[in-house]
Amino acid sequence: MNKAVNICIIAIAMVALLSSCETLKHYAKRGFTEGFYRTHLHQEKVRKVYVLPSDDVIKVFSAETMKKNIIDTSESLKIEFPADTKPLDFKTYFFRKNSFDLQAMTVLFRYRPALSNFPRQLTQSYNGAAYIGYRTDIYRLSYKKTPLQLYKRSITHYGFSVGAFSGIGSEGITEFNTPSAQPIEYDGIVSLSGVAAILAINKVSFGVALGADHLLDKNRKYWVNNDKPWIGLTISLNLN
């Protein structure tokens, strides 16, 4: 029975991972996507702009003129960033966007503080969780010189998110972590929940989580780790 449950958990995690990878591939392909951002332009104060990217050129429009329906005029177009030509007097630009964040997350390992008559623990197990939070994405736009002395446009992505997660996983239940009340060793199903801070650099997302596990069977009252806090390292994939 427990083996079947573990197989189901792994299968669910694999489906979520494959689905997330497709989303990630699409996201990575588009990179710096069309929409509203906040940035510094021409030594002005930070203001809202509308970005229209393509493979050949990234165009930045004044968001203030969007309401006037004159986006195609020279008044609306603030600056252009060609793919392989560095603009004169170019400086590195940062574009910032805030949004809600939905991710598929797994906790790689948990550090559990010492309890009375029980030592500190570092545990690993199968688990998967849904994460929702508030996210800030920053895109750094620069130009890199090639060995042929040409310039190529480069965009580096950084993201930071804070939010909450909830999911399901498994934990080893033994006579040692149930004060000898359970002589049979098995993998128990637990629900996990907590808060997390996630950092993304280009395609990679990792973070730190503070959470707790709740054993979903009658031995929860004996399990020493039930509802006790832990700190964990996470990896995740963006779903939106």
> Could you tell me if 59 and 161 lie in one domain?
no
> Could you tell me if 47 and 161 lie in one domain?
no
> Could you tell me if 143 and 44 lie in one domain?
no
Question: How far is Cα of residue 82 from the mean position of the Cα atoms in its chain?
Answer: 29
Burial code (b: 16+ CB inside 10 Å, e: under 16) for 169-178 equals bbbebeeebb
Q: What span, in angstroms and rounded, lies between the C-alpha atoms of 232 and 140?
A: 29
In which region does residue 9 sit, left (phi positive, over 0), alpha (psi from -120 to 50) or beta (all else)?
Answer: alpha
> Could you tell me if 18 and 42 lie in one domain?
no
What pLDDT is attached to residue 203?
72
> Could you tell me if 128 and 216 lie in one domain?
yes
Each residue's pLDDT tens digit, 68-81:
655 555 567 788 89
How many domains is the chain partitioned into structurally? 2
What pLDDT is attached to residue 8?
44
Higher pLDDT, 71 or 12: 71
> Could you tell me if 139 and 103 lie in one domain?
yes
Each residue's pLDDT tens digit, 116-167:
778 899 988 999 999 999 999 999 999 998 888 889 999 999 999 999 999 9
Q: What span, in angstroms and rounded, lies between the C-alpha atoms of 76 and 55?
A: 21
Categorize the per-residue pLDDT at 11 as very low, low, confident or very high, splitting at 50, 70 and 90. Answer: very low
> Could you tell me if 69 and 6 lie in one domain?
no
E strand or H helix that includes residue 239: none
Strand 127-145 to 186-201 pairing: unpaired
Whole-model pTM? 0.76
* CA nearest neighbour of 162 among 192, 127, 200: 200
What pLDDT is attached to residue 21?
45
Burial of 220 (0-12, 13-18, 19+ CB in 10 A): middle
> Could you tell me if 48 and 164 lie in one domain?
no
> Could you tell me if 56 and 102 lie in one domain?
no
Domain that holds residue 57: 36-83
Each residue's pLDDT tens digit, 46-95:
889 999 888 889 989 888 776 665 555 556 778 889 988 888 888 889 99
Residue at which a domain ends, from 83, 101, 122: 83
Categorize the per-residue pLDDT at 40 as very low, low, confident or very high, splitting at 50, 70 and 90. Answer: confident
> Could you tell me if 124 and 224 lie in one domain?
yes
Higher pLDDT, 18 or 239: 239
Residue at which a domain ends, from 83, 101, 121: 83
